[in-house]
Structure 1
Amino acid sequence: MTEATEQLFSYGTLQLPAVQVATFGRTLDGNADSLPGYRLAQLAIQDPAVVATSGKTHHPIVTPSDVPGDAVEGAVFAITPAELAHADAYEVDDYRRDRVVLASGLHAWAYVDARHAPAGTTKD
């Protein structure tokens, strides 16, 4: 197996063993962590394949927050680059994969609300 060189933070369905097996072909071992500066919302999922895999019509989604102390709890998983591509294929277009810094200081990928500008950008 290729080395697990990527870190993926999950706060939602990618933590579910059935979703992990369907997406990665295995269950993942993760560590609890949190994503500071974000808040949790719910997203209605329109893709029937994603609903079938997760068993849920609404998935959590994170958006940036200006409220001090806001953070989203979840888990961080070490995965391979190929598994990261599988995670990209699982997520619907409402999500965008961004590089984030977790409360632990670990740099990881996280799927965030694609309707918000990426971190470090401003609207003109």
Structure 2
Amino acid sequence: MEKLFSYGTLQLEKVQLDTFGRRLTGTKEVLTNYRIETVKITDEAVIASSGIDEHLILKHSGQASDTVEGTLYEITEEELKHADAYEVDDYTRVKVSFRSGKEGWVYIGA
């Protein structure tokens, strides 16, 4: 199983159903050294699923005082590919360590 951290639209039930075909369950987690910004989305399918055209995006700050709260989901490798397809080119997937010491994937600014 893979672990995927969401701080934005992947936490929305409709996006989960559209992307994974099911509702995900996860645990609260905190990512340090990143800050949240926004990005304008133009992909019509992503806008239709999320209902918004401005999404959150993470930028690495290197500042331990910068934290982002979200949910760490356990998903399959196949579901991770579906998440990759959902995220637009403004994002890239990287593996990170969380405050708890757990590791997982997160989408950050490309």
Band of TM-score, shorter chain: over 0.9
Aligned partner of 2:27 in structure 1 is: 31
Q: Normalising by structure 2, report the TM-score.
A: 0.98
Q: Does 1:86 align with 2:82?
A: yes
Distance across 2 between alignment mates of 1:30 and 1:15: 10
Larger Rg: 1
Distance across 2 between alignment mates of 1:67 and 1:82: 33
Match of 1:69 among 65, 72, 89: 65
Higher strand share: 2
Q: 1:92: how far off?
A: 0.1
Q: 1:103: how far off?
A: 1.0
| % identical aligned pairs | 51
For the 8 Å contact 2:32–2:63, the answer to whether it is kept is no
Aligned length: 110
Map 1:38-57; keep pairs closer than 5 Å.
38-57=34-53
Q: 1:26: how far off?
A: 0.2
Q: RMSD over aligned Cα, in angstroms?
A: 0.7
Runs of 4+ in 1 over 2 A off after TM superposition: none
**Structure 1 portions without partners, runs of 5+:** 115-124
Q: 1:67: how far off?
A: 3.0
**Structure 2 portions without partners, runs of 5+:** none
Q: Normalising by structure 1, report the TM-score.
A: 0.87
Distance across 2 between alignment mates of 1:61 and 1:25: 24
| Letter paired with 2:19 | T
